[in-house]
Every structure is written in C-alpha cells, then in structure tokens.
C-alpha cells in the first residue's frame, strides 16, 4: 500500500517547514531511511529520510513551498502491488510476502501479538505484529544518534506523525514522529543510549499492517510488555510526580521499574536531569547545548561556561567536553606540587607596571606639538564625517593562512591583512578620484592627483608617524606588503627621510592592531579622506547560502571606517568608495597577486 511522507515536527514550537530541495524525483526508487528531501525551518535545516522503500510516485509540495507539520509532502508507492519484481514488497520495510498469509491464517503467535493493538486503538479488523521505528539519517555525515527522551512509553497510544521520542546527534536535536498509528509495543533503545542510523528504536502496533518475519521469536517478550501498559497509566496520573524539581523523564523510569528491573537501572541513571538545570544555568553565555553534551559535562564535572565550542556558531560539541575533561585531569595530575600556588602569582604579573612618569611634568615634544596643531586645524578646517561598513574577509583569511609561509619565503616579509586593505583602497581611489582629491576653498579649485600616494599610519615611541608609499597604484600585493614593512621598520628606528613622510593624498590607519573594532579617524589636511581598518574578529553572522538560504555561520568580520571632508565628498561618494572596497575584499580574488 502507498506510504505517505509527511512534514515532521522538528521542534516543540515549529509549526511549518519549507522544502528547500528534493533529493529524489518522481519515479525514482528510494530505500528506507534514504534522504528524500531537505527542509528548512526557523530553528533547524535538515534532511527528511524516506519512511519506507519503494518508488516516489508523487511529490505534493514543491521546492521553496511551505507546508504545515503533519501535512503530506509526497507518496511512496509499493512496487509489490504491480507485480512480484525483485524490489516488490519493499514499500513496507522488512515485510515479506509469506507473512501476510501467516497472519491471515491466524497462526499461534500472531493472534497474541494482535491483541495489544486493538485494545488501545479501539479495535481493528486486522492487525499485524507492529511496525519498527528506526533511527533516521539526520544528515549526510550522521551515522548515529542518542535517544534523549521518550515522549511515549510502552502501552501508550500514538497517532501517525505524533512525536514519539527526542534524538540528539552532533548536528541536530529533533523529535522523531511515529510512522504509523497504534500502540507502542516495545522500546528497544533506552534514554541516553546511542543507536546507529537504521537501527530499530521501538515497535508500534498498527491496524492493517502486515506481519514481519522477525517477531516470531518475540511473542514471549511481547506479552510481558503488555502488563507494563496497564500499571503505567497508574503512576502517570502523577501521584508521585509533584516532587519538587522532578523531571519529565521520571514517569518513564517508574514504568520501566515495574516491568523490567534491568531497564529500571538504566532509567534511574538518567535521573540526572536534576543536574541538567544546574549545568544549563552555568552556560547562559555558552549558547545552546544539546542534552547529550549536558549529560557528558555532568558526568565529567565540566563547567560548560568555561568551554569554548568548536561547532557552528561556537556551539559546544561532545568532543569539546571530552577535551575539557582531559585537560582538567591533566592539570590536576601535573600541577599538584607547585602549579597551583604559581597560578595566583601569575595574576599580579598580568597587571601593567606603573609608569615612572606618574606625578611628573615634562616639556611637550616637538612632534607632539606638530601633531596637536595639525589635528586641531584639520577639525576646524573641514566638515568631517565618518561612514562605517562591515566587511566579511573570511575568504582573505583562508587565503592568507594558506599562502603566508610561501609568501614570506618569496618576499621576505610577513603577509598581514593590511596589504589586502591597501590594495583594495588604492583600486577604489582610481575608480572614485574625488576621494583622492584636494580642495582649495580660497582659490575655488579641486585638484585630482595623477597618482595615488598612500600614507600608512605607524605607531612609534615618538608618536604617530605617517610614511608614504608614493605611486602605490603601480604596485601589486607583494610590492605593497614589502613597502609597508620597510617604511614601518625605518620609521620606528628613526631612519626614515623627511621626503618619505610627505606627499600623501590618502591615508590608511590600522586601528585594529590593538584590538579596536573601529574608530572615527581625523583626516590630516590637505587630504580629503582617511580609511581606518578595525580588528578582524570571528563572530556569527547571517550569510546567504546558495543551497540553504539564510543561515548563521562563523565568519571573519571587520569594520572599515572612512572619515572624509563633507564639503568636498558627499555621503553617496563615500558609500560608493566603501562599496567598491567591500566588494573587492569579500570576493577575495587575490590569488594572482600571490602567484597562486
């Protein structure tokens, strides 16, 4: 019979999902648990596995269309209905043709297994042994999942697509819906246990289902499972639940203790939900943490607030907790003799030493006098304005990481971010010369220099100095990197010539070298603009993925602040200049300049 593929509930508050991509098309053959389509919600993006094997006969919801939870997405047909081919009978996984005959004949074990299903479901004309609930493939690289909570217990009645259990993997936490309506006959994987993809998690009895070949050896356990449903509803009225701090998992533990002492032991162990709130409370700044990670942290005594997550968006993964536990054990083993007393001693050492200039007065150095006059004059001569943009430099960061060693061997200087920013700025100056121009209000003229002379601010012991890369537009990335390194070194050692400190038409200042996100630079007269580059910081941002749409990812971000003389440069001119710089940097096409 045809099997309906429905939109699962991928979270407690999720009511709908959008089909982003169909991995199979109408007429394609699919296997049970094979990824069938990709779905996006406001909480998770995941693949939906096929609930049965067969042929995808109909797609109901197309790509980029939204469907409510429980609505039909597609239909998988049973090839057995059209003939007895090799793939026939695979629409219902693990079913074979001999067993329906056995069920119809009412053989010994089958009637016993048919009885539990009719009682809770209200009776049915025919009932089979049950349908297995398997661990779905919740991602291409996901091979296993951990059962974090059973939402139904043995003997409970479930509807089709009703949430049955919660599963956690290293990529997603989600609810698994019941593939059929009926009664939970057996739970094969307990809470906090891990099962591979495709493994049976439970068995749900359903009316009209064909019997399976596997349950023949199981008739004996199944009747034992029947008493559990009856005593279970009695503890579930929460006679014992009102205990303060009791977890929603505790009824399951009581039910299992009544039916199976072995399961009771497993259920009693996870009663560590009590520590869960404590752990979660200490992780308010650590982001979302999966139940499995919370359990591992509780077992190993790891404070999640101190763990740096390596997952997407800084999410804490299982391996992060295990690494933190290993580091804690190593720290306890080695530093026992004297490392602990040394730790407090390190804290005072981190404080900066008081300067000897405290409480003294000295003559104002000439260079500081010059800087003070020029900054004051610039602010009073110009109508200065600053525009800031945010730039994603992840591609440059990756390219730099790959090329920096070879670059240093070839050019003899380190490859920092600054040459990339300088090259992008010079190219934008060539396209928008108004930013490189100089205005003489008295003479009523605007002068457009024939070349880009780039000043680079350098922090020295004597104060801020600005050596100039003349004709910077004639240099490639390697040439700019070598000139910046050379000028900065000679400026700091006071070996720079006066001519190399004059003639700049545009200045670049790296305010992020000391960790500043951005500032509002003061433009030095007679220049008309100055670009400040902030610190390159990794943080979660929303990016537009061509396949997944808008997703949150960790990216290397920087703020670029352009200060300019608003008397000459309009806000639109500044925006166009910054847009060109941003586009050049985010494209990251610098391989040719690096010789790669």
> pLDDT tier at 237 (50, 70, 90 boundaries)?
very low
In this structure, is residue 363 part of a structural domain? no
Please give the torsion angle defined by the CA atoms of residues 575, 581, 583 and 587, in that order, rounded to the nearest 10 degrees: -170
Catalytic pick from 300, 411, 470, 566? 566
Tell whether 189 and 158 lie within a shared domain.
Answer: yes
pTM equals 0.44
Query: What is the mean pLDDT of the segment spanning 524-531?
Result: 94
Q: How far apart are CA 420 and CA 416, in angstroms?
A: 8
In this structure, is residue 372 part of a structural domain? no
pLDDT, position 11 = 60
Query: What is the mean pLDDT of the segment spanning 148-162?
Result: 86
Q: Which residue has the tokens 């404080």?
A: 351
As to burial, measured by CB atoms within 10 angstroms (0-12 exposed, 13-18 middle, 19+ buried), residue 139 is middle
pLDDT, position 540 = 94
Q: Is the peptide bond before 370 cis (omega within 30 degrees of 0)?
A: no
Active site residue 566: yes
Tell whether 16 and 141 lie within a shared domain.
Answer: no
Tell whether 280 and 224 lie within a shared domain.
Answer: no
Give residue-wise pLDDT tens across range 378-396: 999 899 999 999 999 999 9
pLDDT, position 227 = 45
Active site residue 300: no
Q: How far apart are CA 484 and CA 456, in angstroms?
A: 8
Q: 3-state SS of 332-343? A: HHCCCCCHHHHH
Domain that holds residue 437: 377-594
Has residue 582 got a pLDDT over 90?
yes
For the ranges 165-174, 493-502, 556-565, the lowest mean pLDDT is seen at 165-174
pLDDT, position 197 = 84
Task: Count Cβ neighbours within 10 Å for each residue of 15-38 and write b for 16 or more, e otherwise.
Answer: ebbbbbebbbeeeeebebbbbbbb
Residues in the chain: 596
Tell whether 113 and 155 lie within a shared domain.
Answer: yes
Query: What is the mean pLDDT of the segment spanning 545-574?
Result: 93
Give residue-wise pLDDT tens across range 91-112: 444 443 444 443 334 444 444 4
Has residue 8 got a pLDDT over 70?
yes
For the ranges 69-78, 85-94, 177-186, 283-292, the lowest mean pLDDT is seen at 85-94
Tell whether 134 and 211 lie within a shared domain.
Answer: yes
Instruction: Pinpoint the alpha helices (H) of 449-539.
Output: 477-492
Catalytic pick from 64, 474, 545, 570? 570
Has residue 122 got a pLDDT over 80?
no
Domain count of the fold of the chain: 4
Tell whether 176 and 206 lie within a shared domain.
Answer: yes
Sequence-separated (6 or more) residues with CB below 8 Å from residue 406 = none
In this structure, is residue 117 part of a structural domain? yes
Sequence-separated (6 or more) residues with CB below 8 Å from residue 314 = 287, 308, 540, 554
pLDDT, position 395 = 94
Query: What is the mean pLDDT of the segment spanning 333-344?
Result: 54
Tell whether 486 and 398 lie within a shared domain.
Answer: yes
Angle 578-579-580 from CA coordinates, rounded to 5°: 90
Strand order in the sheet with 182-187: 131-134, 200-205, 182-187, 157-158
> pLDDT tier at 84 (50, 70, 90 boundaries)?
very low
Which one-letter DSSP state was computed for residue 178?
P
The answer to whether 429 and 435 have CB atoms below 8 angstroms apart is yes
For the ranges 8-12, 203-207, 288-292, 575-579, the lowest mean pLDDT is seen at 288-292
Taking each helix axis from N to C terminus, what angle separates 394-411 and 571-587, rounded to the nearest 10 degrees? 70
Sequence-separated (6 or more) residues with CB below 8 Å from residue 146 = 167, 168, 169, 192, 193, 194, 195, 291, 292
**Residue where one domain finishes, among candidates 176, 210, 236:** 236
In this structure, is residue 253 part of a structural domain? no
pLDDT, position 257 = 41
Please give the torsion angle defined by the CA atoms of residues 339, 340, 345 and 348, in that order, rounded to the nearest 10 degrees: 130
Has residue 398 got a pLDDT over 70?
yes
Query: What is the mean pLDDT of the segment spanning 134-161?
Result: 82
In this structure, is residue 168 part of a structural domain? yes
Query: What is the mean pLDDT of the segment spanning 321-336?
Result: 76
- 3 state DSSP class of 13: coil
Tell whether 315 and 207 lie within a shared domain.
Answer: no
CATH number at residue 308: 4.10.320.10
> pLDDT tier at 531 (50, 70, 90 boundaries)?
very high
Tell whether 192 and 112 lie within a shared domain.
Answer: yes
List Cα–Cα distances, 98 to 84, 89, 104, 116, 210, in angstroms: 13, 11, 10, 23, 10
Residue scoring higher pLDDT (366 or 506) = 506
The answer to whether 569 and 399 have CB atoms below 8 angstroms apart is no
Tell whether 387 and 504 lie within a shared domain.
Answer: yes
Has residue 284 got a pLDDT over 80?
no
pLDDT, position 79 = 63
Has residue 198 got a pLDDT over 70?
yes
Query: What is the mean pLDDT of the segment spanning 223-244?
Result: 44
pLDDT, position 538 = 93
pLDDT, position 78 = 75
C-beta pairs of 273-278 under 8 Å, 24+ apart in sequence: 273/247, 273/248, 273/249, 274/245, 274/247, 276/247, 277/245
As to burial, measured by CB atoms within 10 angstroms (0-12 exposed, 13-18 middle, 19+ buried), residue 254 is buried
> pLDDT tier at 533 (50, 70, 90 boundaries)?
very high
**Residue where one domain finishes, among candidates 36, 67, 93:** 93
Determine how many CB atoms are found less than 10 A away from the CB of residue 516: 15
Tell whether 167 and 210 lie within a shared domain.
Answer: yes
**Residue where one domain finishes, among candidates 186, 212, 236:** 236
Has residue 65 got a pLDDT over 60?
yes
For 253-310, the DSSP string reads: HHHHHHH-HHHHHHHHGGGTTTHHHHHHHTTTTS----HHHHHHHHHHT--GGGPPP-
Has residue 256 got a pLDDT over 50?
no
In this structure, is residue 448 part of a structural domain? yes
Segments of 506-591 assigned E as strands: 506-509, 529-533, 537-545, 549-565
Q: Are strands 454-456 and 506-509 parallel, antiparallel or unpaired?
A: parallel
Q: 3-state SS of 195-221? A: EECCCEEEEEECECCCCCCCCCCCCCH
In this structure, is residue 48 part of a structural domain? yes
Sequence-separated (6 or more) residues with CB below 8 Å from residue 140 = 35, 47
Give residue-wise pLDDT tens across range 471-491: 999 999 999 999 999 999 999
CATH number at residue 505: 3.30.559.10
Has residue 155 got a pLDDT over 80?
yes
Tell whether 35 and 68 lie within a shared domain.
Answer: yes
pLDDT, position 415 = 92
pLDDT, position 581 = 96
The answer to whether 577 and 562 have CB atoms below 8 angstroms apart is yes
In this structure, is residue 224 part of a structural domain? yes
Q: Are strands 45-49 and 35-40 parallel, antiparallel or unpaired?
A: antiparallel
Share of the chain above pLDDT 70, in %: 70
CATH number at residue 53: 2.40.50.100
> pLDDT tier at 266 (50, 70, 90 boundaries)?
very low
């Amino acid at each position: 019979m045809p099997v309906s593929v429905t939109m699962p509930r991928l979270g407690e508050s999720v009511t709908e999902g959008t089909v982003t991509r169909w991995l199979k098309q109408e007429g394609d053959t699919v296997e049970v648990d094979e990824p069938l389509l990709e779905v996006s919600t406001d909480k998770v993006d995941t693949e939906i596995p096929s609930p049965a094997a067969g042929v995808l006969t109909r797609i109901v919801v197309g790509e980029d269309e939204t469907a409510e939870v429980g609505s039909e997405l597609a239909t998988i047909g049973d090839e057995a209905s059209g003939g007895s081919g090799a793939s026939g009978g695979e629409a219902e996984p693990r079913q074979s043709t001999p067993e329906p005959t056995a069920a119809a004949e009412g053989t010994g074990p089958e009637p016993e297994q048919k009885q539990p299903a009719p009682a809770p479901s209200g009776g049915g004309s025919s009932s089979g042994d049950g349908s297995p609930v398997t661990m779905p493939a919740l991602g291409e690289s996901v091979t296993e999942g951990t059962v974090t909570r059973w939402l139904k217990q043995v003997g409970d009645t479930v509807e089709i697509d009703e949430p049955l259990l919660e599963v956690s993997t290293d990529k997603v936490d989600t609810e698994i819906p019941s593939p059929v309506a009926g009664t939970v006959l057996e739970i094969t994987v307990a809470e906090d246990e891990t099962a591979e993809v495709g493994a049976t998690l439970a068995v749900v009895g359903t009316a009209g289902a064909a019997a399976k070949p596997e349950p023949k050896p199981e008739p004996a356990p199944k009747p034992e499972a029947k008493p559990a449903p009856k005593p279970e509803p009695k503890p579930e009225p929460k006679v014992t639940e009102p205990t303060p701090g009791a977890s929603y998992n505790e009824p399951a533990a009581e039910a299992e203790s009544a039916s199976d002492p072995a399961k009771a032991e497993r259920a009693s162990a996870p009663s560590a939900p009590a520590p869960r709130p404590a752990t979660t409370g200490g992780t308010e700044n650590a982001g979302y943490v999966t139940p499995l990670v919370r359990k591992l942290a509780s077992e190993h005594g790891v404070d999640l607030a101190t763990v740096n997550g390596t997952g997407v968006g800084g999410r804490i993964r299982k391996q992060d907790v295990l690494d933190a536990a290993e580091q804690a054990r190593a720290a306890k083993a080695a530093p026992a003799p004297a490392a602990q007393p040394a730790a407090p001693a390190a804290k005072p050492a981190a404080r900066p030493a008081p300067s000897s200039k405290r409480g003294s007065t000295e003559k104002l150095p000439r260079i500081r006098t010059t800087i003070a006059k020029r900054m004051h004059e610039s602010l009073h001569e110009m109508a200065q304005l600053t525009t800031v943009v945010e730039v994603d430099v992840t591609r440059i960061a990756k390219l730099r990481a790959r090329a920096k060693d070879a670059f240093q061997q070839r050019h003899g200087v380190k490859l920092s971010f600054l040459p990339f920013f300088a090259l992008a700025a010079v190219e934008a100056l060539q396209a928008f010369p108004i930013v490189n121009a100089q205005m003489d209000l008295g003479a009523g003229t605007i002068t457009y220099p024939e070349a880009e002379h780039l000043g680079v601010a350098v922090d020295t012991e004597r104060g801020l100095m600005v050596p100039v890369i003349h004709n910077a537009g004639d240099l490639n990335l390697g040439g700019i990197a070598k000139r910046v390194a050379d000028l900065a070194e000679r400026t700091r050692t006071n070996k720079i010539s006066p001519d190399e400190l004059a003639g700049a038409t545009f200045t670049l200042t790296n305010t992020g070298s000391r960790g500043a996100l951005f500032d509002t630079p003061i433009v030095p007269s007679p220049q008309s603009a100055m670009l400040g580059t902030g610190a390159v910081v990794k943080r979660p941002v929303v990016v537009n993925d061509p396949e997944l749409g808008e997703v949150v990812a960790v990216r290397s971000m920087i703020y670029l602040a352009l200060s300019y003389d608003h008397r000459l440069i309009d806000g639109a001119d500044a925006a166009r200049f910054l847009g060109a710089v941003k586009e050049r940097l985010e494209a990251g096409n610098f391989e040719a300049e690096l010789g790669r």
